Amino acid sequence: MTEVDAEGGHQSQLQRLLSSSKFLDTTSMGIMLHGPDGRVLECNRVAVELLGDSIDQLVGRTTTDRQWGAVREDGSSFPADDRPAMVTLRSGELCRDVIVGIDNPGMARRWLSVSSSPVTLDDDVRRVITSFIDVSERIQKDQLLKLLTEVNRVAMLASDESEFLQQLCNVLVDQGRYALTWIGAISSGGEGGVDIVCAAGATDYLYDGIVSWWGSKESGLEPTGTALRTETSQVVSDLATNAGYVRWRERAAQFGLGSIAALPFRISEKRMVLVIYDSHIVAFDEAVVKGLEAITKEIEFGAAHLRSVQQTRAALEEIIVSVDLQKATEHARAEAEQRFRVAFEDNVAGMVFTDLEDRILEVNDAFCQMVGRTKEELLGRDSTPFTFPEDIVIAQEAHHLLLQDESGPVRYTKRYVHKDGTMKTVEVHKSTARDDVGTMLYFVMSQRDVTEERALTAQLSHQALHDPLTGLANRVLFADRLSQAHAKVVRPGGLAAVFMLALDDFKGVNDAFGHHVGDQLLVAIARRLERVARSSDTLCRFGGDQFLYLAEGLDSPAEAERLARRLLDAFSEPFSISEVDLEQRASCGVVIFDGTRLDYSELIQDADVAMYEAKREGTGKYVVFSPAMRQQATSRYALLQELRHALKTGEVSMHYQPIVDLMTTEIVGFEALMRWQHPEKGWVPPDVFIPLAEQSELIIELGSFALRQAVNAASSWERTGSQARWPYVTVNLSARQFHDPDLISMTEDILRTSGLAPERLIFEITESLAVLNVPDALSVIEEFHRLGIGIALDDFGTGFSSLSYLVLLNPRIIKIDRYFVSPPNESVQNEMLLESIVSLGNKLHMTMLAEGIETSAQLEQLRHFNCGLGQGYLFSPAVPAREVAAMLGRVPGNWG
């Protein structure tokens, strides 16, 4: 590869660098091209969205620029030299799946999984391609899981409530990386004040004039007071702009506080609140608040557990002392026993006394309810019969440790099988009761039910690895399974395959029926794919309308192809959603790999490339990846970037092909056709660049450009003396533009600005587009009719061709496809078919327009069939706008 000219523009650099197989544009990844100094040379649209900056802000920025605000997963600063792009530039090695946090003012911290690939020029690393995806949701869930685990540990080890609450605040600041955390309680002095019980982090913010109130007065309307008063969690996403936080706004900015969450809870019926400040705005979304509320539940459980253990221990020690020393009176001993009985029986924790052989001596009501058994069923027996079988050994090992006097109190988790068959997960604190000389008397167990808490932890763990809508594996789990699959296929001859399934025109479903129906369709598709998937394989929702499927243990490439067909066959029957039968098809890309290759991002990109090749072949197809496709994909991407550039620099223009009255050969209108003159390639055929644009959002920009140019041009056309009416202009609408919600308002604005009469504008839509979703099409067409805009139905005869659809759509013009005008083989049958099509339109009182007229014989035949309008090279090819005026002045009949 030749060295890139350093003085060339970004477009020429990018065009050459795109020959690297690493540089692929996908809808789901942000992509950047870095120069040898780490400076950003180019980036894609997704990168702009994920980083929260404009292209102008990103291009030219160096890796060392402080605007990145990059941090590591532990919250520490991420040195520029250690970031993936710089590591790859320095070492020439691939960096994969590095977690980087991005702090951009005005948005919440965003976590990215970043990979960097070297681009070698003359055997030297001169450029780096960096790709990244948003993993914020997964990182947040992982952090909440770690916090829950640590809070639980603190609760079990703390000696008293005060220590527990302070350590909790420390954990939230040190491990949760929050700027400030404090716990408040309703003031014992009344007047609606809130006492600070403990705090950690930027505590100077609290102890220098900040007072919270929970009463109904104005000072009690801030988050802390509102949370205490209503006992519901409160969040302020941006302290700098929230109207209810005006009193503290300046001080919050001084301490670098961006957002706040206040979460109420109770300890022994006392109303309290956990208040957490983050240095970022929008730090507390719904999922984070749900996780923090789980922590407040842990506070309530932990505090109750500590109190019960303390009460029981104190009462038990009092009894032992009074019995062993025999210095207390019978009355005093009875009082001690009564205090113990209250502490034991009324304890919210499940309390159990067992003998040295672990047989139950005494239990309280809480334990009976925990296991669903009466005291009579429990006393004198051990707990083995209703302990979950896998946990019996855990309990026995803990018991043996205490018997051998090798440790103090032991803590462990076990599961009981409730009498009703449900499972109860408990945390056990087991200690030894001794007399005054140290002889073991019996064991004391305090057991806390953590079933719901563990279920929430399991739910958060599941959510971190699964798609919330469909329940399928997400990218994180898929990447892990892919790594495991690689280990399995390392053996000689082992094969596996990755399949990427993308739904065809799924956007049309969302536009026609709404996103709620689209979501239901995605769920239905997931369930159907699960039914055809093999149990050993992994099905993943990659994002949007794309699914990934990992097939392991394949014997041959042919088996992978059979699986691809099986997956696509799952779409053969319609999906019944909200009483509507939806026909949905998909395209599939397949990449087969063995033990010699594992690069997650490259495999996914290759599957993506193959999938787009399948889309190009038509709906419901699959394509197996081959290395040559990479070059084709990068070439298409390069051409797409050049097309974006061409739209801005004037290389794209509109030409106009005349539409004539076939009886008089008078011009009645023009079809606006897009042309692209590339400075190096010359004229690029429309059937090359239009389909390319239709695969991206660029088609919307091209469509808007075409409409504005055509309407402005038509507004300048004059009617000559021989013309009976003003010439109109027809503009083609793509499927995406037809469904664009801004189309109507944009068209109204363009017509109003240009002054063109609406009846002089005709939109061309294809027959297949119109009948794909008739209700939706009718709704849009009714808006066109309301404005006075006409409809031309293009390519008639090649699609569905239903009379009922024609009547419903009521087009002003029906365009007969050129296939019927210039068939590849002349025959009587072709002639009869053409005559029937023209006759049909005339009987429905619709104007028929024949495309592709190239010979005088074809013209005479169409006149004989009484076809009204026509266009084609016999009259003129499409011409630039500047030549239209001269063409309008042409004498009718003077063609050729």
pLDDT band at 4 (very low <50, low <70, confident <90, very high): very low
Q: What percent of the chain has pLDDT over 90?
A: 32
pLDDT band at 328 (very low <50, low <70, confident <90, very high): very low
- Cβ(379)–Cβ(362) below 8 Å: yes
Of 505 and 332, more confident: 505
CB atoms inside a 10 Å sphere around CB 225: 25
For the chain, where do the domains classified as CATH 3.30.450.20 start and end?
10-134
Residue with tokens 């239901």: 520
Of 8 and 309, more confident: 309
Give residue-wise pLDDT tens across range 787-826: 999 999 887 755 545 566 677 778 899 998 888 888 877 7
The CATH number of the domain covering residues in 466-630: 3.30.70.270
What's at 725, amino acid-wise? R
Q: Are strands 95-102 and 70-71 parallel, antiparallel or unpaired?
A: antiparallel
pLDDT band at 212 (very low <50, low <70, confident <90, very high): low
What's at 578, amino acid-wise? S
Give the pLDDT confidence score for residue 643 in this predicted structure: 92
Per DSSP, the three-state class of 463 is helix
- Cβ(477)–Cβ(470) below 8 Å: no
Of 8 and 319, more confident: 319
Beta-bridge partner residues of 791: 763
Give the pLDDT confidence score for residue 772 in this predicted structure: 56
Give residue-wise pLDDT tens across range 298-315: 888 778 777 766 665 555
Cβ-count burial 692-709 (b if 16+ within 10 Å, e if not): bbeebebbbbbbbebbbb
pLDDT higher than 60, residue 429: yes
Give residue-wise pLDDT tens across range 649-687: 999 999 999 999 999 889 999 999 999 999 988 999 998
Give residue-wise pLDDT tens across range 877-888: 999 999 998 888
**Which candidate, 167, 210, 485, 407, places its Cα nearest to that of 306?**
167
- Cβ(729)–Cβ(714) below 8 Å: yes
Burial of 413 (0-12, 13-18, 19+ CB in 10 A): middle
Range scoring the smallest mean pLDDT among 309-318, 574-583, 757-766: 309-318
Give the pLDDT confidence score for residue 571 in this predicted structure: 94
- CATH architecture for segment(s) 10-134: 2-Layer Sandwich (3.30)
pLDDT band at 532 (very low <50, low <70, confident <90, very high): very high
All residues at 6 or more sequence positions from 222 whose CB lies less than 8 Å from its CB, including other chains: 212, 244, 245, 247, 248
Give residue-wise pLDDT tens across range 230-283: 889 999 988 888 877 777 788 888 888 989 999 999 988 788 999 999 988 888
Write 94-101 long-range contacts (CB < 8 A, 24+): 94/118, 94/599, 96/599, 96/600, 96/601, 97/479, 97/600, 99/72, 99/73, 99/135, 99/139, 100/70, 100/71, 100/72, 100/132, 101/70, 101/71, 101/72, 101/73, 101/75, 101/139
CB atoms inside a 10 Å sphere around CB 359: 15
Give, for 692, the enclosing helix (H) or strand (E).
helix 686-694
Q: Mean of the pLDDT values across residues 505-510?
A: 80
pLDDT higher than 80, residue 495: yes
Q: Which of 294-308, 334-348, 544-558, 719-733 has the highest mean pLDDT?
A: 544-558
Give the pLDDT confidence score for residue 330 in this predicted structure: 54
What's at 498, amino acid-wise? V
Backbone angles phi, psi at 267, to 5 degrees: -125, 115
For residue 199, what are its two tokens? 């705090």
**Which candidate, 140, 200, 207, places its Cα nearest to that of 172?**
200
| C-alpha atoms less than 13 angstroms from C-alpha of 661 in its C-beta half-sphere | 13
Q: Mean of the pLDDT values across residues 468-476?
A: 89
Q: What percent of the chain has pLDDT over 70?
A: 84
For the chain, where do the domains classified as CATH 3.20.20.450 start and end?
659-672+699-888
Q: Say if domain 659-672+699-888 classifies as CATH 3.20.20.450.
A: yes
Give the pLDDT confidence score for residue 804 in this predicted structure: 62
Give the pLDDT confidence score for residue 631 in this predicted structure: 77
Q: Are strands 728-732 and 667-678 parallel, antiparallel or unpaired?
A: parallel
Helical axes 10-17 vs 628-649, angle rounded to 10° = 170
pLDDT higher than 80, residue 467: yes
> How far, in Å, CA of 873 to CA of 216, rounded?
81
For the chain, where do the domains classified as CATH 3.30.450.40 start and end?
140-301
**Which candidate, 837, 809, 810, places its Cα nearest to that of 823?**
837
pLDDT higher than 90, residue 703: yes
Give the pLDDT confidence score for residue 91 in this predicted structure: 83
> How far, in Å, CA of 883 to CA of 896, rounded?
16
Give the pLDDT confidence score for residue 14 in this predicted structure: 40
pLDDT higher than 70, residue 343: no
Class of domain 140-301 (CATH, top level): alpha beta
Looking at the whole model, is its pTM more than 0.85? Answer: no
Give the pLDDT confidence score for residue 5 in this predicted structure: 39
Give the pLDDT confidence score for residue 298 in this predicted structure: 81
pLDDT band at 142 (very low <50, low <70, confident <90, very high): confident
Alpha carbon separation from 314 to 306, 336, 448, 472 (Å, rounded): 12, 10, 19, 52
CB atoms inside a 10 Å sphere around CB 580: 15
For the chain, where do the domains classified as CATH 3.30.70.270 start and end?
466-630
Of 549 and 347, more confident: 549
Of 501 and 843, more confident: 501
For residue 486, what are its two tokens? 């690689």
pLDDT higher than 80, residue 641: yes
pLDDT band at 589 (very low <50, low <70, confident <90, very high): very high
**Which candidate, 507, 563, 576, places its Cα nearest to that of 537?**
563
Give the pLDDT confidence score for residue 521 in this predicted structure: 94
All residues at 6 or more sequence positions from 453 whose CB lies less than 8 Å from its CB, including other chains: 148, 152, 294, 297, 298, 301
pLDDT band at 21 (very low <50, low <70, confident <90, very high): very low
